[in-house]
Amino acid sequence: MSQYNRRTIVRGAAWTIPVVAVASTAPAFAASTDTPVVPGPGAFTVCKQPGGPNGPNCQGYKFSLNLTVQPSDTWTIQFTQLTVDGTNFLPQTSPQTFQVTATANLINFVFCTASSPSQFNLTLRYSATNQRTGVTTTGLGGTYVLSGVRNCA
């Protein structure tokens, strides 16, 4: 004779179905962390800082970047490349690291150049670290043609 009767087996099977359903949805939720992205050239605003040159051979420019950030996570953005018209401005860019969220996703940074262009070819590369998961994604960004440079208010 069997140690288990039919009622015991059915009762045990009924409890396994909800456990399997919960376990299968948890990994999908944990993996849905899209990195912050630059949605295109329209994400940037560029203006020339007032007061003429901001030092010897230096015209200051302020860039504002509005990243698209998914809700619920905080990200650390680290610039890894900032090239304007072929010149590397990363060493003089201040700051280079930012915290962003879905509600605080505007990044402002400044640099100066000896020229005073009305259009920029900007190559911006960055890494993004998800503060909840600790996962870092590198090689983000791209090259953007930015025009319509105005004086900062």
Asked if residue 12 is part of any domain, the answer here is no
For the chain, the distance separating the N- and C-terminal CA atoms, rounded to the nearest angstrom, is 89
**Span 20-79, pLDDT tens digits:** 444 444 444 444 579 999 998 889 998 888 765 556 677 888 889 999 998 889 999 999
pTM of the model: 0.71
Among 2-11, 44-53, 104-113, 134-143, name the one with the lowest average pLDDT: 2-11
Quickly count: other Cβ atoms within 10 Å of residue 99's Cβ. 11
Range of the domain at 120: 41-151
- Under DSSP, the state recorded for 71 is T
Asked if residue 11 is part of any domain, the answer here is no
Higher pLDDT, 121 or 116: 121
CA 41 – CA 82 distance, rounded (Å): 15
Asked if residue 26 is part of any domain, the answer here is no
- For the domain that residue 50 is a member of, what is the CATH number? 2.60.40
> For the residues of 74-98, what is the DSSP string, one character each?
-EEEEEEEEEETTEE-GGG-B--EE
Looking at the structure of the chain, the number of domains it has is: 1
